[in-house]
Amino acid sequence: MNTGILDVRKTYNYLRKTQTHLVQSSEIATACVCQNLFKLDYPYGAIRSDKDYLIANTVHDIMSLCIGGPIIENWQYNSNDYENLTEKIVHDSYNIINEIINYTLDITNRENRSIQHDFKDRIDEIYHGLVTGICKRLMKKYDKPDRIITEITITNIKDHHEGRIDALLEYHHGYGILDWKTYDLNKTISGREKWQLIANNLLANYRYCQDEDDWNRYNFSCIVHNGGAYFPKLETIKKEVDKIKINRKFAFEVLCGKHVRAERPSFCPVCDKGMEGSKECLFYQIDSKLAHEGKLPAQYDKMTRQFFAKRYAILKERAETHLHKHVASTLIDQHGEEEALQRLERTGVICSGYFYDFDIEERVVMSRKDADFSLEPRRIVRIIGIEPKRPFLSCISEQASVMDVSNNKITLSFRSKVAVRRAKKQLFHLPIIMMRDELNLTRSMLRPIHQFHKLAADIFIPQELLPK
Amino acid sequence: MIDLNPDQERILNWRINSGGVAGVIGPAGCGKTTTGSFLAVKIVCEGYARKVLLVAFTNSAANEFCRELSILLGPEAAKFLCVRSGYAPGADTSLSIPFSNSIEVVRTKKIVICTTQSLRRLSGCIKFDNMIIDEAGIERLEHLLSPFTLGINQLGVNLMKDYISYETNNIIELASQSGIVATVVGDPKQSRPIGLADYDLSAMEWVLRCTKYDTLFTTHRLPNKLAMLVDEFADYGGLRAAHDIAARRLIVDKDIDNEFRSIINPDEVITWADLNGTEEMAGPSSWYNDIEAKACVKICCELRRVAPSKSISIVTRYTEQRRIITRYLRSLDVNVRVLTSTGALGTQADIVLFSIVRNNPERIVGAVGSLQDLNVAISRSKEKLIIVGNFETMLNCWSRSYDMNHRIKQNFPQKLAKLVDAKYGEVVQATSLLSY
């Protein structure tokens, strides 16, 4: 028994000294738009928006439940009567929509948060738009899938890549990716959504073919939005994959604290259009230019070094949140999945044998046959449903925190009631493994450092050094 | 009404009449939360500030602030002046202070209580003239900066630009010079930076390095012998027990069984039950010691029998040990709180058992040898402290941790063993506890 534990502990100790960062698909997309924009998020920590995404999040919740319910149930391939079909689906979704809206309102009331007066109408309108897009474009071109998985997180450790896909449509011969946006894609100019979709395609390839460059199972990918749908061609996607990989490498190296020069594109939708975040971006560009020219005042220079030391310490902590996944992946590579999972279970990193009992609101009670398990209250866990022929970290999963452990029962708190419903639909019927996980609080920790950096610049940099 | 001791009064008067960022060191049981709450009330009621933020790292610490404020102000005034903001399920709704995340409601209140993680809900909307920050759990400087951002006085910065540039050398000084008025209450000898770097300063250490600070020296928790042990062990420089509790001792209702007489001995405040258990690895970085776990449970069972009304806690450095002890206690249906040294911060009990866990021929004690962990473990008890573990390992261990100033490396386990054996407690052989 000790050999197994020792092996796992050695792997932890070894990996702690290496770079265990993972780059999210959304971050790769940002870097594809402009590498300076990525640096604005990491390492600078400049927040570009303080908006409350209540409507967008609620629509996402509705879609994640309806796509596997009324939408797939009413799927009609190549139907010309998309308007009636849309109405039927919207009608059939009425209960789900109402339930989620009431749930959201309940939460906002509990927290005493304000809500816009046309909240319900906006949600109805956006949902109607998305369903129209699916019926008019997606159903027109593609047959009913065998199964739809929603909000699936896929981690590809080898390529330092992770992402959450809105919906994966599974066919016996392949897969399709569906992403939904609550705004009109035709009115956006950054193209960020397209990059995110392609990055997610690499993850889907990994899930279905164990290789991100194997496109044999690819069927289609699509962004449905409030004004229609967007289908990139496979040739177009393949052409852009290199750009995704270059920017993924760039993002990874920035997170690791390497000196990488950010390349500004010929057109940046944020800076060139003066959008939110352009001031911050300009601030850091001037800052690094002055630093490069050695013009920064000594005190400010010293303080900037402190800020960057803190920032990279925070980023190292972000990498630490992915450590368990790296250990699991390394052990699976070394010993095969079965043996690796046994070793991890003996060490208490994972726990298996649970099955679903019942749920109340956001809480789920699960149990197993014996009482000897190593989870403790307040621990964050990833509940993974083992799927045959899929890499361990690409299987269906949800995150939850342990609320209570007693005898052979465990109470888990999910992020929301919607996550519980989703898990009941697509996760709990699978063999369950619970793996230790961590919360990523990087952004909230970087933000004050950015604010103090700006404050210090305001105080120490003389006006004559700044461009007019 | 709560009576303040001279230390607390001195600190209150100092902070009322001074600006910038400052630190208040409060060893165990010295009333950090009471002082912080009192300061907030005084600042608001006497018109020194329009809006005060009380911020803590955990929900339970934020609730403690609310409880103190309710006592100080009375339920009606507390309801009128204060609001608890942040994570709704974490707030104690039994208190008179209302909960709200609405910016409109928060704007109307004078005292806002919130956790560090929930501050982003308020950022950008509300500014505070004064803030009191409970440092317990705030591990590093970057955690401390988020409350500070709510106190930056941009107008003041613009007016004082020339002056500031000649004075400021680091982030804390910059915060002080930017109009932020904050009192950070905490104890660098209890909370440590749980960072990835081997060498890092805790948030409190940053504050103490760069600003003025004062110390609370009167503990209302630890009886005299324990206060003296903690004072000498952590080098506080004069920690003393309050008069009314100095002579406090454990009182038992029944005769103690022979097997436990020397360990539970009510005349002795500190007892070291010397055991030779075997440590075992568990999890990615944890340890457990089954014999010690069973010994702790046996002692607890006897304590429950002879002193049923007393609160009992078991503190250990390792989560795995906590898990095993909890399991044994549950199987015997014994109600005792089991905590890790991190979780024990801010808690207290009449009787505390400290399980050391580590015991090996190489005498490596690992994380259990840090000043902060040992200090927390020995300073939770109001009447009796029982240390359970191998005395010889601790006395002759290889452990070198930095002291608070990160200048001198000290062998803290050895220091503790020597102090208990020679001056403040008694080491007793506990071989009888090995049978279970």
Q: What is the pLDDT along chain A (468 residues), one digit of tens a residue?
A: 466 788 899 999 899 889 999 999 999 999 999 999 999 999 999 866 656 688 999 999 999 999 999 999 999 998 889 999 999 999 999 999 999 999 999 888 877 677 888 999 999 999 999 999 999 999 999 999 999 999 999 999 999 999 999 999 999 989 999 999 988 877 776 788 999 999 999 999 999 999 999 999 999 999 999 878 899 999 989 999 999 999 999 999 999 999 888 888 888 888 888 777 788 999 999 999 899 898 888 888 988 998 998 899 899 989 999 999 999 999 999 999 999 999 999 888 899 999 999 999 899 999 988 876 678 888 899 999 999 999 999 999 999 999 888 878 999 999 999 999 999 999 999 999 999 998 888 888 898 899 899 989 988 888 787 776
pLDDT surpassing 90 at residue B124: no
Residue B405 has pLDDT above 60, yes or no: no
The pLDDT-based confidence of B181 (bands split at 50, 70, 90) is very high
CB burial string B218-245: b at 16+ within 10 A, e below: bbbbbbbbbbbbbbbbbebeebebbeeb
pLDDT in tens, A230-280: 999 999 899 999 999 999 999 999 999 998 888 888 888 888 887 777 889
pLDDT (tens digit per residue) in B128-152: 999 999 988 777 788 888 889 888 7
Q: How many residues does chain B have?
A: 436
For domain A323-437, say whether CATH 3.40.50.150 is its number: no
Q: Does the CB of A455 have a partner CB in chain B at under 8 Å?
A: yes
Average pLDDT over residues B88-114: 88
**Chain B residues lying within 8 Å of A348, measured CB to CB:** 282-284, 286, 320
Specify whether the CB–CB gap between A268 and A33 falls below 8 A: yes
Phi, psi dihedrals of residue A99, rounded to the nearest 5°: -60, -45
Provide the pLDDT for residue A48: 61
Asked if A313 and B195 come within 8 Å (Cβ–Cβ), the reply is yes
A114 and B168 within 8 Å at the Cβ level: the answer is no
Note the ipTM here.
Answer: 0.85
Residue B406 has pLDDT above 60, yes or no: no
Q: What is the pTM of this model?
A: 0.89
Q: Does B174 touch chain A (CB under 8 A)?
A: yes
Chain B contacts in chain A segment 406-445 (CB below 8 A) = 406, 441, 444-445
A374 interaction partners in chain B (CB closer than 8 Å) = 283, 320, 323
Pairwise CA distance, residues A376 & A324, whole Å: 16
Chain A CB contacts of B103 below 8 Å: 114
pLDDT at B234: 93
Tell me which of A2, A108, A299 to substitute to probe the interface with B (most B C-beta atoms closer than 10 Å). Answer: A299
Q: Among candidates A187, A195, A161, which has minimal Cα distance to A33? A: A195
Q: How far is A422 from chain B (nearest CA, A)?
A: 23
Nearest CA to CA, how far is B216 from chain A (Å)?
A: 30
pLDDT at A404: 87
Interface of B with A in 321-380 (CB under 8 A): 322-323, 330
Where in chain A is CATH 2.40.30.270? 323-437
Instruction: Determine whether the interchain pair A111/B196 forms a contact, defined as Cβ–Cβ distance below 8 Å.
Output: no
Does B393 reach chain A within 8 Å, measured CB to CB?
no
Establish whether the linkage from the previous residue to B308 is cis, with ω within 30° of 0. Answer: no
HSE (CB half, 13 Å, CA atoms) of A41?
16
**What is the Cα–Cα distance from A428 to A43, expressed in whole angstroms?**
38
Across the interface, whether the CB atoms of B120 and A444 are under 8 A apart is answered yes
Taking one residue from A and the other from B, the number of pairs with CB-CB distance under 8 angstroms is: 113
Chain B residue nearest residue A350, CA to CA: B283
Q: How confident is the model at residue B196 (pLDDT cuts 50, 70, 90)?
A: very low
Which amino acid makes up residue A179?
D
Region B225-245: what's the mean pLDDT? 95
Q: Judging by beta carbons within 10 Å of its beta carbon (0-12, 13-18, 19+), is residue B252 exposed, middle or buried?
A: middle
Tokens of A76: 């009609």
* Averaged pLDDT score across all residues of chain B: 88
- Residue B407 pLDDT > 70: no
Residues across chain A? 468
Is B174 in Cβ contact with A452 (below 8 Å)? yes
User: Which residues in chain B touch residue A303, judged by CB atoms under 8 angstroms apart?
Assistant: 168-171, 174
Subunit contact B283:A347, Cβ cutoff 8 A: yes
**3-state DSSP helix/strand/coil percent for chain A, to nearest 5?**
50, 20, 30
Which pLDDT band, with edges at 50, 70 and 90, does B417 fall under?
A: very high
A contact test, residue of B146, B153, B162, B171 with most A CBs within 10 A: B171
